[in-house]
Structure 1
Amino acid sequence: MAWDEWEQLKARATEGRSAHMRLNQADTDAGAPGAAPGSYGELKVHNDDLSKVGERAFQLYDRLWNKARVAIPSSDRAAGDLTSQGFALGGGLQHVANRWEEQLRSLMDACAHISNHMRVTKKLHQGDEHFIQRKMSSIDVLDAGFDDRVGEPGKRNPVYGPQPGERKDS
């Protein structure tokens, strides 16, 4: 890379026309040192729609359990009776009953999976959010404790609170 090209890239970066990356730092207007991450942004999980999907999947699972599987025993019985009487239709009916049961189980498994996933998703995301908030809060407080720019020179860093015997309003 030539020197002129480097200078052009630096100029574009300072003009704001290129991508920027900021690590371990919030925007300058994000709040005071030691502020909770919620004051300058946090993960938010809104799952009202997801909860509705999970609830509907659970309702469908219940309806399939109560109504759709009742055909299996009677179809098996009818297929057995037809086969024992020598009708070829018995084998066909048994095949249909088996396929119905396979497809029904597959659909019920999918409903259960959706319902369980939607029920657990928010709880998992909330746990992640709390974990990240705890980590970011401790980093923010630690960073503020080592920041020489906090407060005037010679004064106690306010992150540590008042000294023993010192009044809060002073």
Structure 2
Amino acid sequence: MAWDEWEQLKAEAAEGRSLSMRLNQLPADQGGGTPPGGASEDLKTDKRAWVKAGEGVSGLKGDVAKALSTLDGGQAGLGDTAGCQSAAAQKELYDSWKKYLNDVSGRCEALGGLLQSSGHDLSKPDQTLLGELNGLTAKYADTAPVGGQSGGR
């Protein structure tokens, strides 16, 4: 903004008139721009970054497997839960966490693969990629909580 324009704005403000502002910007698109979901010539991406992110997310599957193994080891000596409410509750909690961790593992694998494929094939339209991500969300909906429920006991 030029100095004289600044002075004009200050004078208008002092007189109580409404202030107008002009932004330095590109003119509005006249119809020849990028279609929705299309690629922009200004968009820059690095395929290696997508692949590396996908590998990192897929690699979380190993950490989840370790946690699941530890959970299995801690459950090993439980035995029959009939007649013992705390043992039955522990078994119910174990089963829910085992399912949850298996789902997390699957989600890591699926999302990691999706990120890696995006890195290899960046020509997918945004809507296609969004549809694949929404599919993951639907497939791996979180399990219902069981902790603190009476379970009819």
TM class by smaller structure: 0.3 to 0.5
Q: Say which structure is richer in helix.
A: 1
Q: Which has the higher contact order (CA 8 A, sep 6+)?
A: 2
Is the radius of gyration larger for structure 1 or structure 2?
1
TM-score by length of 2: 0.47
